[in-house]
Amino acid sequence: MKKLVLIGIAILLTTGVCVGLGLTQQVPDDEKQNGLTGIFDVSVSGDIAYVRYESGKATVYVKSKDVRQVAQLPPDRAIADIVIMPDGNTLFYVNSSKDRGDTTERAVHKVDVATGADEVLFSKDAIITELAYDAAIEDQIFYLQADIFTNYSPVASAQPHEFDVHRYNLKQKTHQQITDLKKYGMASLQVSGKEDSVYIQMDADENAETAEEIFEMKQRIFQIPLAHPEQSKMIFMPNDPNDLYDFVLVPDQSLLIYQAVAGTNSKGIYEYELFSYDWETMETKRLTFHKEHTARPVFGADGYLYYVIDYNFAGRNTEYELFRLNPESGDTEQVSLDE
């Protein structure tokens, strides 16, 4: 009997110690993030740059013949976007706070992929959300900047607003604001040296006057000439689809590939797929049939369309995987990011 009492006391003490350690040594939320994110890019040479969280640390990898880590941030920082140069030797990324409402010190970094040398190109007390680059416009990197973080409507969550397109001259180290629109939202920034334009997804809100009207506007794709940014024009699509989201231009094939809602599942959760629009034939075609959250299309020099799927879109934690699609055959395959 005495032995049983001693065993019981030992169990209680061990349990108390474990509970105490659990309370005092809980893993901070910032360090719980793990796994692949939806942020990636593909170079002309076929290198894949991507962001993965490891114990809450945003980490940049580049996969070419092998996989190498080229940057890692502290647990309280996040990477908003990355761009890898055509030769695969250099990449740029946006270093931001995990607190999305914190508008202080967003920095754009330049990294030498071979050596890992990391330098800050510039920093701003504003919200930088995306980067874009085209080798045809030499020494220029373009970015989206929002000036405030708020909710304009009681039914909407707080988000970055008052967006405009900017660019940075890598040689002269100077900034230029391209647009003066202060848009409610802008996303999916693309730049074309051939067209001397940037392309952007934003609300078609020219006639909206109130915050509620802005919130109800459909999202469309616009072309903004760099020489005359005041002369922006909306890309015409004859079937007038619902909101368009992520997109990529494939000028050589006269294609616009975009993300849109394709339906809802049995739980009422939206299913996002990728579609193509041929602006010569004016034909729209559905490209993916995953019945998931398919997003962030990137067209590779190998002729494949790269994209990610979030298998836990409606959940608290994302669950991304990278895929690619052969536009000619329609075949899809998961892309391994292992060694």
> Residue 101: inside a domain, yes or no?
no
> Residue 287: inside a domain, yes or no?
yes
> Residue 251: inside a domain, yes or no?
yes
Could you tell me the residue range of the domain that residue 323 belongs to?
236-339
> Residue 317: inside a domain, yes or no?
yes
Q: Which amino acid is at 173?
A: K
Nearest residue to 294 (alpha-carbon basis) of 266, 321, 328? 321
Contact (CB, 8 A) for 40 and 60: no
> Residue 210: inside a domain, yes or no?
no
> Residue 219: inside a domain, yes or no?
no
The CATH number of the domain holding residue 253 is 2.120.10.30
> Residue 203: inside a domain, yes or no?
no
Q: Would you write out the chain's pLDDT as a tens digit for each of its 339 residues?
A: 443 443 444 444 444 544 454 444 555 655 678 999 999 999 998 999 999 999 999 999 999 989 999 999 999 999 999 999 999 999 999 999 998 777 667 899 999 999 999 999 999 999 999 999 999 999 999 999 999 988 877 777 888 999 999 999 999 999 999 999 999 889 999 999 989 999 999 887 766 666 666 666 677 889 999 999 999 998 877 665 567 789 998 877 788 899 999 999 988 899 999 999 998 888 889 999 999 999 999 999 899 999 999 999 978 888 999 999 998 899 999 999 976
- The total domain count for the chain is 1
> Residue 306: inside a domain, yes or no?
yes
